[in-house]
Amino acid sequence: METSSPHIILGHTVMFTGYKFLGAVLIRPSITKYYIDKIDLNKLNNKQFISNISNTLFYNIYINIINFIDKIKSCIINNKCFNLYSNEFTKILINNYKKIICSPYESTYRTPSKAKIMIEMPIISESLNNFYKKFNYIIDKNMVPSSDHISVELQFLSLLHAAMAGIIEINLDYDSLNNLRIEFLRKHVYTWVPVLANCIYNNSKSTILKEIGLLINNLLDHEKYF
């Protein structure tokens, strides 16, 4: 694997960490609690790694990720905070009396009318699955019902960055992985995820959810550095 700079590998590691975290917490609150409880902040606070990225474009966002995880850990302990987060998450991203306020599905944004969703959704799913197959990425339907769910797409981005950082092995060279990353962002993520992130931020009373919206857009903004 070849890259133009050692800092790029560190950047991919930061992006992998951020997307993996978001991909887990955007499934549902019970998964957030389970996942966050298992995160070892001491491991993320690795002094050598932080020193290595201190002079890169990825330092600030990595520190933000660590601080945010710590904040959610504190929120989970505080029942009032976590109940607000859970209620807001359910209201905004899972169900509401009339409709989901911020749909976590790509097909909702790409096909505004219900009639078109029935036509376009299989096309969107096929396109996504073609990307996923290259990584043997299998969706757990017990966790998320569809390949176009936000958590699935962000987890796939985390795998791409993990492969580009050399954290996982895959039979593709760096340039091929980078082209795949650019294509996936252009064809899917950029078409709807920023809209969802803004929707989450603008419609939530929970500071945790608001910060999730901000972090999504912050990570996507850092894609331009590769």
Per-residue pLDDT of the chain (226 residues; tens, 9 = 90+): 455 578 899 999 999 999 999 999 999 999 998 999 889 999 999 999 999 999 999 999 999 999 999 999 999 999 999 999 999 999 999 976 567 899 999 988 887 655 555 556 778 889 999 999 988 888 888 888 889 999 999 999 999 999 999 999 999 999 999 999 999 999 999 999 999 999 999 999 999 999 999 999 999 999 999 9
pLDDT of residue 136: 86
pLDDT of residue 119: 55
Reported pTM: 0.92
Angle, in degrees to the nearest 10, between helices 59-77 and 207-222: 160
pLDDT of residue 1: 47
pLDDT of residue 123: 80
Task: Using the CB atoms, write b or e for 161-195: b if 16+ within 10 Å.
Answer: bbbbbeeeebebebeebbebbeebbeebbeebbee
Q: Is the dihedral of CA 106, 124, 13, 43 positive or negative?
A: positive
Rg (the chain; Cα; Å): 17
